[in-house]
Chain A
């Protein structure tokens, strides 16, 4: 398989994952804004931060304002992480790796592009937002379904999965990074309604609110939320789960190619950290420091995978 194609698959699925995550983030922010009594736009600021888009947004719009933030995150062509930009980039990469994916995967991506492009042709009015966001999530599920149902389980599949889970791990880590102050016991007023809403937002943005309630029997605390998002291997958007998937797929590549690379060492270290750690220790040494370490490790991993598998010359 060509190195350029491996890179194209990796990025295609990173962008797809990103578009879904951004849609979830907008959903969470919108939900949050609806439930706020004072109608301020504070929450949108942290949404922008989570999307790593704050400074670029401010350059463009000056101040944080709900309609503009939503538009920036969904439709803005100059925002490379907007849903539309991400889906267009995913499709561009899909075209470039057309020979590596099945017709059904290609059609699912191409369909997604065409449907989303039409849906996002104009700014989205608040009353249409839930439907549009739901549609974007549904399209993501469609592509994922086509991938699972029609692709050979070989190196092509591995690079697609590695891209997906690297993006997902990165996304969950960034949500924690932006929100860590809400989760710190010293600052949060346990049980206050404001914090409940904030936690809800965090969980909602990783599609985890329902699972969390089942697992915790309805009892929320900052520590259990952080534990859930970092260490719970059953939760498909937790760091542990995502990192585990990356490790598994890198392991398949090692077995298929018979070569162990530096990226295998990096993922081993990250995985060990999650396997041996626990939430008490993380809070002791500092949640923020821990998250930064994770983000840095994931970034190094991405760059090393690109080198090891010759994405570029």
Chain B
């Protein structure tokens, strides 16, 4: 029942004793019948399929609606551990916003030589159209997802900052809902911090960022690319939970200098738009002219203070994987403090010495595309075949600047329920952060993703990963 000795298991210590956050859960679990629990797992799957929580996998037209597997063993974090993490997350999010403001205004950090200018200038995620634009309250990243991994008792690392449009929060909420329905007795035994307030908090947070043109009550809308998008369920879920309209590009147009939606009673202005459409598709007049997903002219309205776009256009520059390696400097530059959360050591392959090192050690490293996401276009050296490594080597040599490399981290494990009982699997954690002009709010917990395959280190749902409910205990 214990984890592989070389990995930190969050439930069981090396000698098989149960770590303190899991003790009450373990006491409950020992009295349960594994067969009954397995039945519950199947019940959970039916529940998810009914509610329609499915996602579409790119490049798999056949299985267009797949379920992300859900494991019923919760991932448990103590209140004390969480308090420490939130300090680090808050610091990081403040730095990200200050960095973005600076990049689109005076560019002090480039002048100070702390981040190389060419990294910004030649980066597609940097939007020159945003230069000199100050979003309401100077908030760029209204919603952030900071991906964390753990390697030891006190060792947390930031794997990625998702500053564009982090997804997965609906799973966090539905996972909790499912657990509450299936195991109500657990929640009366163990005091777990609430997550269900997230939609209301999101609504308040967005409402606090109204543009100058807003008069009176703030109209918020969620912009989705449409029902074929892989995260459509989440877009609809969030709009529904917030009680706001879910709009598509075809519902919107510019009317009298405002972005307005076509209602059954004519066009009505929107104040804040939570867009789940990438920058490039946002405005066919200003960016990708082929886009049918956006609103022609929205950037002009935005710059004139007619609408708030969340997250702000151009935030992608802050979660670029090449920028990531500079985050400790960025945090220090803007907050005057050392970064509380550690970065994973990163080799930038654009650098010749680093490239040589990476090419010599491919079988031990994780190599990622600078602009990739969702686990696509990445190499996990220890898990890759000789052929895969050779193919990746060729890609890397052809375009070194397109890649970064990191050591293969000994990701912590949390048990999942298998036919044979509990078995350790690797996990990561994505806490969700809401930023408004005067407040940073972090939902206790977040989305724990778990690799379901034994030994696998890839937790992405598109690559066969699952999720768990994440509990932060009340102290």
Residues in A lying within 8 Å of B, measured CB to CB: 1-6, 92, 95-96, 98-99, 103, 106-107, 110-111, 114, 155, 253, 257, 259, 309-310, 313
Contact = CB atoms under 8 A, between A and B. Distances in A.
Interface stretch (B32-40, B116-124, B260-268, B427-435): B260-268
Contacts of A99: 236, 239-240, 245-246
B243 to A, nearest CB: 9
A257 B265 CA distance: 7
B38 to A, nearest CB: 22
A253 B265 CA distance: 10
B74 to A, nearest CB: 24
B50 A107 contact: yes
A96 B226 CA distance: 8
Please report whether the interface of chain B is mostly helix, strand, loop or mixed according to DSSP. mixed
B264 A98 contact: no
Contact of B262 (A95, A106, A111, A310): A310
A114 B49 contact: yes
A21 to B, nearest CB: 26
25 contacts: A1-B245, A2-B261, A2-B263, A2-B264, A3-B251, A3-B263, A4-B248, A4-B250, A4-B262, A95-B52, A95-B232, A95-B236, A96-B226, A99-B236, A99-B239, A103-B51, A110-B50, A110-B51, A155-B264, A253-B264, A259-B265, A310-B262, A310-B264, A310-B266, A313-B262
Contacts of B280: none
A227 B449 CA distance: 64
Given A2-B251, A4-B262, A103-B51, 4 more contacts: A2-B261, A4-B251, A155-B264, A310-B263
B247 interface: yes
Contacts of B236: 95, 98-99
Nearest to A106: B52
Contacts of A114: 49
A99 to B, nearest CB: 4
A95 B51 contact: no
A95 B227 contact: yes
B50 A313 contact: no
A155 B50 CA distance: 26
Nearest to A113: B52
B246 A98 contact: yes
A107 B49 CA distance: 9
A2 B268 CA distance: 10
B51 A313 contact: no
Given A95-B52, A106-B52, A1 B264 contact: yes
Contacts of B237: 98
Contacts of A92: 227
B2 to A, nearest CB: 40
A1 B263 contact: yes
A239 to B, nearest CB: 26
B247 A2 contact: yes
A313 B232 contact: no
The CB with the most chain A CB atoms within 10 A, among B49, B239, B250, B251, is that of B251
Contacts of A253: 264
A174 to B, nearest CB: 28
The CB with the most chain A CB atoms within 10 A, among B240, B245, B265, is that of B265
List of 8 A-B pairs having minimum Cβ-Cβ separation, nearest first:
A98-B236, A309-B264, A99-B240, A99-B246, A99-B239, A3-B262, A6-B264, A95-B227
A251 to B, nearest CB: 15
A2 B51 contact: no
